[in-house]
Chains A and B, each alone.
Chain A
Amino acid sequence: MSTGPVPKPIAGPSNFIDERIGAGTFLKRNLRKVFPDHWSFLLGEIALYSFIILLLTGTFLTFFFKPSMGHTVYEGSYDALKGVTMSEAYASSLHISFDIRGGLLMRQMHHWAALLFTAGMMVHALRVFFTGAYRKPRELNWLIGVLLLTLALLEGLTGYSLPDDLLSGAGLRITEGVAISLPLVGTWITFFLFGGEYPGEDVISRFYSLHILLIPGILLALITAHMILMWVQKHTQMPGKGRTNENVVGAPFYPAFMAKAGAYFMFTFGVIALLGTFAQINPIWLFGPYNPANISAGSQPDFYMGFLEGALRLMPAWEINLFGGSGGTLPMNVLIPALVPMGIIMTGLALYPFLEQWVTGDRREHHVVDRPRNNPHRTSIGMSAITFYGLLWLLGANDEIAAFFSVSLNWTTYVGRVLIFVGPFLAYVITYRTCLGLQRKDADIIGHGVESGVIKRLPSGEYIEVHVPPHPAIEALMRDKKPVPIIAGADSDDPDGDGIPSKGMRSPLGKLRAKMSKAYGGEKIALTDGHAHGHEEHAAVGSGEDDKPSLTH
């Protein structure tokens, strides 16, 4: 991975440091580290830089924010609330918004950064998922990522509740509802969290400690671990010319990547500052102070909580009364939507790399990522998960949708209840077909070349369009396709021809595994015409580079 002579700006300081503490070679090595330069590798950085901005703006907010639910009468400069009794937390958030110089900008930047932080994580995770970059040896980093996402949701929820306004109070109320509906421990947990009967006097200060101390601390530690692992394991890279599982092609950290990363930080900062300046977010003064007796139409949480809200709205009222009510009530209408979708999505994310490994039996290291079309089942599973999540998210805003498009609110719920089952299934089928179609197109280009737009007239009078070979870079990208592995012996009942299925495949679980492996893996559309696609091909995984381009036309 050494890339030419070490430039002077690195050599100088690292010699200086080397002579004092003997760490120069470490610097030398690491500053020349190579980063791939495909745009999708920058997505994670949106989250990273947003986090830095969250730390900075959040610290500013802590200077002025009072995490107390003590009562006070507002006497600040916002007219429409003068003389209204409210909590200190709310009053101090108003104070930040109206009477602290730059306070509103900081609050708004903090909130926009929070949205971009979670959104950035999501697009980053999707990139990793669809390209299979979570495969060995990066499963651990994937798990850290899932944990980060979960914690970010929690961090957002606690931060959102801090200003103690009427809108965030609605979210707090739901949190309480979920906590109290947990069987056996529910009451205990709620009393612990709220310091007594809801809303109590304690929850804001408890959320405050969680929001500015505990969760950011864990986030910071996990992000550091994430970065270190990424550094040690190096980036994956898109398939292409000269890119193998043994190298990384791209720009060295210093100076090229550092310049790019620095520029990208500035971009993120700029976008957040622009949004914070020109787009109003969470106008708490319009919502009024929290009062458990009031609730507004159109109460929604921040977008990253939207899927939980949607699940809650979708769920029919279903309760189980144990022993005719004397044994307590299991409010399934709260428990299921609060726990099941979150469980499906987060557990599914966490387990996917291991499930895939189990199904494909693929335990090799992967540093070159897949193009999404080349692993159609994975891509389809991802798309149906997105559909599931997206539908819930959309339905969390069903009242806004009903009001905006003048449709019946009830019907959005009825249709949603059907779509939530049918949608993911349709997404699966459509994505699968699309992937195969794209693979076929690739095979076609490899086989016949691309249309050049040049029409030639043959001596016989016939017109033909001249096909030319694709650009070498594109061809290399296409030729990198490898079949998804299948566990040994899964594609026939009797691999050794001795009439006995191999050992692992005799149990029902083994049979299921073999079946899934066969469906999931294998070559769906062979890349080249006339190229035998038998089982030998599977053994020859990774030898694609040696084939000479065989353009027959």
Chain B
Amino acid sequence: MNRITARRRHPLARYAVLLLALVLIGGFYTLVTAKSNERADAAIASGKADDVAEGKKLFELSCSSCHGLNAEGTKQGPTLVGVGAAAVDFQVSSGRMPMANPGPQAPRKQPAPWVNETTIRQLAAYVQSLGGGPAVPGNEQVDAALGDKAKGGELFRANCIQCHNFVGAGGALTQGKHAPPLHEATERQIYEAMITGPQAMPVFNDSIITPQQKRDMIAYIVGVRDEPNPGGAGLGRVGPVTEGLVAWIVGISLLILAAIWITAKKRQAQ
């Protein structure tokens, strides 16, 4: 006890502490910059320099009115610096961007006619070059066949159903927003939705849900939606609301018709 206190008071102690702090900060800095350099390198390597240039042109044409000429953001749309290629791929391939009319949220729609794999890649490369961000996942990363449905189901129930419903039928959120049904999203879009967290959806980054777990969830979502309904017509799979409607509209109506039919023939009193 005493010895430690004595050493702390040593005249060289403050230099030692200073040195330690400098080493820590320096190490941290190199780590961080290395990582972001890596990202930028990757962007340029995967997107190639012309992709970035082409992407910038496309961006100025279709996106800058809302997101600003340098994607710095305007009153009409947020900045795209740092959202990453994955966000662009998700937003544009699902038809959400370019946004058509202002509303509580940009809905999935038929993508614009100029949208195809190449243009999306170019736009994504441009946005990625601005400040990094999550990259578009590779095919193997999103392959449902490599995932474990049952594990994915548990994760899906723990993380997603409060907004998207058990079977991905979607649901209402506050103030006119809604979590859309997951019937149309491709495997890649599901992955991208998780890593970019579009609008009201939270981000599920790799430290919350590992890439392997993401693939399990994709396997579950895709598996369940393609699965036939063993019990007959699925009734939209939204649970008791449609079941109740069917009980009344089909069941009770049929039985009332039957009652009318049965009693229509009366015995004539002699």
Contacts and interface: CB of A to CB of B under 8 A. Distances in A.
Interface of A: 37-43, 46, 79-84, 97-98, 104, 108, 111-112, 115-116, 119-120, 123, 166-167, 242, 249, 251, 256, 260, 263-264, 267-268, 271-272, 275-283, 286-288, 291, 293-303, 306, 397-400, 402-403, 406-410
B240 A303 contact: yes
B172 to A, nearest CB: 4
Contacts, number: 207
B172 A402 contact: yes
Given A120-B255, A256-B267, A406 B220 contact: no
B176 interface: yes
Given A80-B227, A260-B262, A279-B231, A295 B269 contact: no
B252 A46 contact: yes
A410 B104 CA distance: 13
Interface in B140-177: 149-151, 153-154, 157-158, 161-167, 169-176
Contacts of B104: 408
A83 to B, nearest CB: 5
A294 B160 CA distance: 9
A264 B229 contact: no
A111 B254 CA distance: 17
Interface of B: 104, 149-151, 153-154, 157-158, 161-167, 169-176, 178-179, 220, 223-224, 227, 229-235, 237-241, 243-244, 246-248, 250-252, 254-256, 258-260, 262-264, 266-267, 269
B169 A280 contact: no
B161 A84 contact: no
Contact of A119 (B153, B173, B223, B252): B252
Contact of A410 (B170, B171, B174, B262): B174
Given A280-B232, A300-B240, A264 B258 contact: yes
A251 B267 CA distance: 7
A243 B231 CA distance: 48
A402 B238 CA distance: 13
Q: Lowest 5 CB-CB distances: which A-B pairs, in order?
A: A297-B171, A303-B244, A280-B231, A402-B172, A115-B247
Given A293-B158, A409-B176, 15 more contacts: A39-B260, A42-B262, A104-B230, A123-B252, A166-B166, A167-B166, A271-B254, A275-B246, A279-B231, A294-B161, A296-B161, A297-B162, A297-B163, A403-B170, A406-B178
Contacts of B241: 298, 300, 303, 397, 400
Interface SS of B by simple majority: helix
A303 B154 CA distance: 28
Contacts of B154: 84, 288
B251 A400 contact: no
Nearest to A107: B231
Interface SS of A by simple majority: helix
Given A166-B166, A282-B243, A409-B174, A104 B231 contact: yes
A39 B252 contact: no
Nearest to A35: B263
A108 B231 contact: yes
Contacts of B229: 280, 283
Contact of A83 (B150, B224, B238, B244): B150
Contacts of B237: 283, 286
Given A279-B235, A280-B229, A402-B178, A43 B256 contact: yes
Contacts of A271: 250-251, 254-255, 258
B243 A302 contact: yes
Contacts of A115: 243-244, 247, 251
Contacts of B166: 166-167, 286-288, 296, 298
B146 to A, nearest CB: 15
A166 B157 CA distance: 9
B153 to A, nearest CB: 5
Nearest to A268: B255
Nearest to B172: A402
A115 to B, nearest CB: 4
Nearest to B176: A408
A242 B268 CA distance: 13
B120 to A, nearest CB: 27
Contacts of A249: 269
A39 B262 contact: yes
Nearest to B220: A80
B158 A294 contact: yes
B150 A82 contact: yes
A400 B165 CA distance: 11
A42 B267 contact: no
A80 B251 contact: no
A80 B224 contact: yes
A410 B172 CA distance: 10
A298 B248 contact: no
B265 to A, nearest CB: 9
A296 B157 CA distance: 8
A286 B224 contact: yes
A108 to B, nearest CB: 6
A263 to B, nearest CB: 6
A260 B260 CA distance: 11
Given A42-B263, A43-B256, A283-B229, A399 B171 contact: yes
Contacts of B231: 97, 104, 108, 279-281, 283
Contacts of A263: 262
Contacts of A256: 267
A112 B239 contact: no
B266 A37 contact: yes
10 contacts: A39-B256, A39-B262, A39-B264, A115-B243, A119-B248, A286-B237, A298-B171, A400-B238, A400-B241, A409-B174
